[in-house]
Chain A
Amino acid sequence: MRGLTHYLSGLSLATFFKPLVAAVAQGNLAILVPAVYAYLPDFLDFKVWKFFEKWDFHVDPAPQEPGLNRAPMTVKVSSLTPEERYRFYRLEGRASRIEDSGDKLSFTLTDDTGSIRVEALGRDRRDLLSALGGLEEGDAVAVSGYLDYRGEEPVFVAADAPHPMYVAERVAEAIDYAYEHGEARVKVENIRMIGDTYRRFLIDLDGENRTVRVVMGPIIALGGMPLEEEPVPEHRRYAEARTRHRFVKKYPKPTVIGGFSGTSIGFRREGDVVEEVFLPWHREWSHSFTVGAFLAALLYLALAALGSSLAAPLALASMLGYWAHVVEDQLGYMGSNLLWPFTKKRTPGLRLGESGSPLLNFSTALLMSGFIVANLNYAVPRPPIALPYGELLALVSAPSAAMYAYAVAKWLRQRGEAPEEAEEKAVEEVLEEEEEEIGGA
């Protein structure tokens, strides 16, 4: 579920502990600790662990210019080594030996480190000429594109994107690596260009044919809106690479890399095949009951050592808050690795609704707010709502109970859902979680 829903749950659980509520009157804000704990699993994943993930393959098809934070990066001709093939770069130099057939423009570009033949085909030729306003012998120009080979001869192909083969080859390599070494982590970076625009591309894993396909898509705005209608030219739109080993992908839709950030894909060998693990750094150790208990124990020891009288209730409430997060996420599709390190894999969720579901989030947040109001009501010397505690609890939970009932009814109807569909939703769920803060300013 969304971060605030978890956070609110922690705060709500804390209000059930009278000593914590009483401490507020003395200006003690310890009651916030369980709320923090309830948010901690996502915090650990998204704000800490994500950055410490170890990548076996770092795939950056379009390196960014430092200081401009946009691709392409300007490089020298001499740095275009075979490993740089298909990556998106920008060269600066003088043009010579210009040949223009009307369909294909080629010239030699020379900078202070060497020369390379540049080719611009079809639409790229048109774009290049229109942006430069024509090209004459000896002109100083800057050209973007990628390195390729015509036989043995290196060629710099003018383009507004890298060649998809760069990504396809590396992902295929990662799958084989996972087969041989048991596991592989791949980080695929996104392509960010000037004006906060992005080049979208898709990675499709076809296990049946042992093929990794990559398709270059349009230029998009951050929100996902395409800015161009013309498709990417044929010769650099599509690429496929074959793997030596078998792999499966349960989730049928291709992985889309667009705005915001790249993605991380895990591959793990299971028996004789390699399986895909989506966002491998998320909902693993952090989303487990065991870690929750451990972190609560640490809190207890620290507080007890300081002689705090709140050590026991605070640690207990914090553990419950942490666990509430795990339970709430388990209502969704992807599930979590519940008893890490004793369990190795994520346990699939109950599929009551996607974790981003407005209904589930709202009803849970409403329930938790209701608990807070009910509990705090009795912390006031003369409770403003003069209802017995049980009745008040029932009253505040009624709307949420109705909404949950609706979700369960829906779930009963959809139980026959195809496994791929469920897998798809699981992936969408975590993707959405990753993008959750984007609207907030």
Chain B
Amino acid sequence: MGPLGVVLWTMFGVAVGLGFSWMPGFHVYNVIALLAVTGGAITFIPQEAFPFFVLGALVSFAYSSVISTVYFSVADDTMIFMLFPTQRYLVTGRGHEAVLMTLLGALAGSVILAASMPVMPLILPFLRDILNQFITVFLSALVVFMFMSEWLKMGEREENRLKRFLKAWSQILGGLFVFLASGLLGFVVLNTDLLPTTVAYVRLTPLFLGFFGLPWVLVNLLSGLPVGEQDTSDEVGTDWRGLLSGVFGGALGGYMAAFFPLITGGMGALVAGHITSQRGDDTFMVSQGANRFIYYVGAFLFLFLPAASLTRGSAAWLVSSIYQPKTYQEYVYSIGALLLASGVSFIGTLALSKLVARIVGRWFKQISLAVAALLVAIAWALTGPMGVAVMLVAALIGTTSVFFNTRRSYCLGVLILPVLISMTGYTGVAMKLLGLGV
């Protein structure tokens, strides 16, 4: 395939990504999966162009998904639930600024990623060989740390000491419940034929839509606070220090998440935020941008590294089952495609953000409902009625995390717990315990 083909298919991926991934809870993996399941894409895209198509889609996803993060997640009117930095910006009419700041982070992330690709083959294989057999340790270490470092937000005003303690700890216990419950759900879905094994690749989709998409709709519908007028001028309130600190921390977290299987961008960000001692909303948003970009795109780019044999992330697994890039030429193309897609996505997302900023205040509830309907439709299309049932249970668990004021990322127990069980050799025991046969 020549450079023209690379450009063409990358841009096609970008278009698909921009078109879908601004919707809340709608992951680009789902888009690719949907295209794959409905059969169309796989047949009309040439096999060796497929990695570039996915690369384009992933890049634009890393950019445009910030729109749903910023505009479509508001808590209830009394704000019993703590606001995330992006939400704080939104309710003060600075949603577009938050988008822009995250995009700047993503742009910096793409430059860092492109620049670091040539040195990656020198370091990564060593690290992989050393750390591979200790993945269980790192994964469990991170889970333990997440629970231990939970910032207790409640309980300051209870009348006596024991009540204060219990109230505060209900948050940790709630988090534990969410982790275990989502883990249990994941275990059942992954180890049975509940969702048809013939579409195993998309079995996680209804789960993720349930955990991260639907609770958002639920909370929005509880909400009474209007999202007001948004300022859409392209200005950001930050300084170089905040920007650099954010980019550096974000990139670090992104690499970590990209390199270690199962560790997601959010968890990588938590780790990197600690290591580089970040503070401030602006820094946080910039780092989120860089982090997500490197996490999603970097993980996928490992696939292009000749002889590195690192398949990380759902998209990479899908692509590697269709076509595995093999040459250094493809590797060089991938860096070019990355930069191209990055520039186009930056501009596209900015325009999209302005558009959304204009309509979001007026149509908030309607958009929420429409998205909810869309999520249900996707789950149904991919995995049938049982997928919708599984999605609803996942949504309940996701909502629980909101009510306990605890980290939403505990829902990732859906993957982490089954994998930990499998890696420590307890799958058989757990199956017996749950009465799942064998």
Q: Do A and B come from one complex?
A: yes
Tell me, yes or no, whether B235 is within 8 Å of chain A by CB: no
Beta-carbon contact of B137 and A4 below 8 Å: no
Taken together as a complex, chains A and B put the C-alpha atoms of A1 and B223 apart, in Å, by 39
Beta-carbon contact of B80 and A68 below 8 Å: yes
| Neighbour of B276 across the interface among A361, A373, A376, A438, CB < 8 A | A361
Beta-carbon contact of B275 and A356 below 8 Å: no
Beta-carbon contact of B275 and A441 below 8 Å: no
Tell me, yes or no, whether B321 is within 8 Å of chain A by CB: no
Report A1-19 CB contacts with B as 1/0, cut-off 8 Å. 0111101100100000000
Interface residues contributed by chain A, number (CB under 8 Å): 62
Beta-carbon contact of A380 and B88 below 8 Å: no
Taken together as a complex, chains A and B put the C-alpha atoms of A23 and B424 apart, in Å, by 12
Closest approach, in angstroms, between the C-beta of A321 and any C-beta of chain B? Answer: 12
Closest approach, in angstroms, between the C-beta of A263 and any C-beta of chain B? Answer: 10
Beta-carbon contact of B134 and A4 below 8 Å: no
Tell me, yes or no, whether A100 is within 8 Å of chain B by CB: no
| Neighbour of B149 across the interface among A27, A32, A357, A437, CB < 8 A | A437
Closest approach, in angstroms, between the C-beta of B242 and any C-beta of chain A? Answer: 12
Beta-carbon contact of B425 and A441 below 8 Å: no
Beta-carbon contact of B165 and A439 below 8 Å: no
Tell me, yes or no, whether B144 is within 8 Å of chain A by CB: yes
Q: Which of A187-206 contact B (CB under 8 A)?
A: 189, 194-196
| Neighbour of A4 across the interface among B157, B275, B408, CB < 8 A | B275
Tell me, yes or no, whether A70 is within 8 Å of chain B by CB: yes
Tell me, yes or no, whether B335 is within 8 Å of chain A by CB: no
Taken together as a complex, chains A and B put the C-alpha atoms of A436 and B280 apart, in Å, by 11
Known contacts A39-B148, A439-B85; A384/B141 CB under 8 A:
no
The number of residue pairs between A and B whose CB atoms lie closer than 8 Å in the complex comes to 165
Closest approach, in angstroms, between the C-beta of A188 and any C-beta of chain B? Answer: 11
Tell me, yes or no, whether A122 is within 8 Å of chain B by CB: no
Known contacts A4-B274, A223-B85, A437-B149; A27/B425 CB under 8 A:
yes
Taken together as a complex, chains A and B put the C-alpha atoms of A31 and B280 apart, in Å, by 34
Closest approach, in angstroms, between the C-beta of B124 and any C-beta of chain A? Answer: 11
| Neighbour of A24 across the interface among B83, B134, B165, B277, CB < 8 A | B134
Beta-carbon contact of B130 and A3 below 8 Å: no
**Chain A: CB-nearest residue to B91:** A195
Beta-carbon contact of A441 and B157 below 8 Å: no
Beta-carbon contact of B145 and A39 below 8 Å: yes
Tell me, yes or no, whether B133 is within 8 Å of chain A by CB: yes
Beta-carbon contact of A36 and B144 below 8 Å: yes
Q: Which of B398-438 contact A (CB under 8 A)?
A: 407-409, 423-425
Chain A residues in 8 Å Cβ range of B110? none
| Neighbour of B140 across the interface among A32, A194, A362, A365, CB < 8 A | A32
Report A29-73 CB contacts with B as 1/0, cut-off 8 Å. 101100110010001001110011110000010001000111000
Chain A residues in 8 Å Cβ range of B140? 29, 32
Tell me, yes or no, whether A25 is within 8 Å of chain B by CB: yes
Taken together as a complex, chains A and B put the C-alpha atoms of A83 and B84 apart, in Å, by 37
**Chain B: CB-nearest residue to A54:** B161
Chain B residues in 8 Å Cβ range of A223? 85, 88, 280-281
Beta-carbon contact of B152 and A47 below 8 Å: yes
Closest approach, in angstroms, between the C-beta of B121 and any C-beta of chain A? Answer: 14
| Neighbour of B148 across the interface among A27, A36, A60, A358, CB < 8 A | A36
| Neighbour of A68 across the interface among B78, B127, B152, B172, CB < 8 A | B78
Tell me, yes or no, whether B366 is within 8 Å of chain A by CB: no
Taken together as a complex, chains A and B put the C-alpha atoms of A42 and B14 apart, in Å, by 46
Report B10-31 CB contacts with A as 1/0, cut-off 8 Å. 0000000000000000000000
Chain A residues in 8 Å Cβ range of B130? 373, 376-377, 380, 384-385
Closest approach, in angstroms, between the C-beta of A186 and any C-beta of chain B? Answer: 14
**Chain A: CB-nearest residue to B267:** A440
Report A220-248 CB contacts with B as 1/0, cut-off 8 Å. 01110101000000000000000000000
Beta-carbon contact of B80 and A25 below 8 Å: no
**Chain B: CB-nearest residue to A356:** B277
Chain A residues in 8 Å Cβ range of B279? 356, 432, 435, 439
Chain B residues in 8 Å Cβ range of A5? 274-275
| Neighbour of A441 across the interface among B78, B84, B134, CB < 8 A | B84
Chain B residues in 8 Å Cβ range of A440? 149, 151, 266, 269-270, 273, 407
Known contacts A60-B157, A221-B92, A441-B409; A2/B134 CB under 8 A:
no
Max count, chain A CB within 10 A of own CB: residue among B91, B148, B281, B409: B148
Tell me, yes or no, whether B119 is within 8 Å of chain A by CB: no
Interface residues contributed by chain B, number (CB under 8 Å): 62
Report B277-300 CB contacts with A as 1/0, cut-off 8 Å. 111110010000000000000000
Chain A residues in 8 Å Cβ range of B148? 3, 7, 36, 39, 43, 47
| Neighbour of A358 across the interface among B80, B266, B276, CB < 8 A | B276
Closest approach, in angstroms, between the C-beta of B25 and any C-beta of chain A? Answer: 15
Q: Which of A331-365 contact B (CB under 8 A)?
A: 356-358, 361-362, 365
| Neighbour of B168 across the interface among A47, A70, A225, A435, CB < 8 A | A47
Tell me, yes or no, whether A414 is within 8 Å of chain B by CB: no
Max count, chain A CB within 10 A of own CB: residue among B92, B157, B165, B269: B157
Beta-carbon contact of B85 and A4 below 8 Å: no
Closest approach, in angstroms, between the C-beta of A197 and any C-beta of chain B? Answer: 8
Tell me, yes or no, whether B222 is within 8 Å of chain A by CB: no
Taken together as a complex, chains A and B put the C-alpha atoms of A380 and B127 apart, in Å, by 12
| Neighbour of B278 across the interface among A27, A39, A366, A439, CB < 8 A | A439
Beta-carbon contact of A189 and B156 below 8 Å: yes
Max count, chain B CB within 10 A of own CB: residue among A64, A376, A441: A441
Closest approach, in angstroms, between the C-beta of B265 and any C-beta of chain A? Answer: 10
Report A375-388 CB contacts with B as 1/0, cut-off 8 Å. 01101100011000
Closest approach, in angstroms, between the C-beta of B408 and any C-beta of chain A? Answer: 6
**Chain A: CB-nearest residue to B270:** A440
Can you name 29 A-B pairs with beta carbons within 8 Å? A3-B149, A4-B271, A5-B274, A24-B134, A24-B137, A29-B424, A39-B145, A39-B148, A47-B152, A51-B161, A53-B161, A70-B78, A189-B157, A195-B78, A195-B225, A196-B83, A222-B82, A261-B156, A358-B245, A361-B274, A361-B277, A362-B277, A376-B130, A376-B134, A432-B279, A437-B151, A439-B284, A440-B270, A441-B407
12 further A-B contacts with Cβ under 8 Å, apart from A27-B423, A223-B281, A385-B130, are: A3-B148, A29-B424, A32-B141, A46-B152, A51-B152, A68-B80, A70-B78, A221-B88, A356-B279, A376-B130, A432-B279, A441-B408
Question: Which 5 A-B residue pairs are closest in the complex by CB-CB distance?
Answer: A437-B151, A4-B274, A196-B79, A384-B129, A51-B165
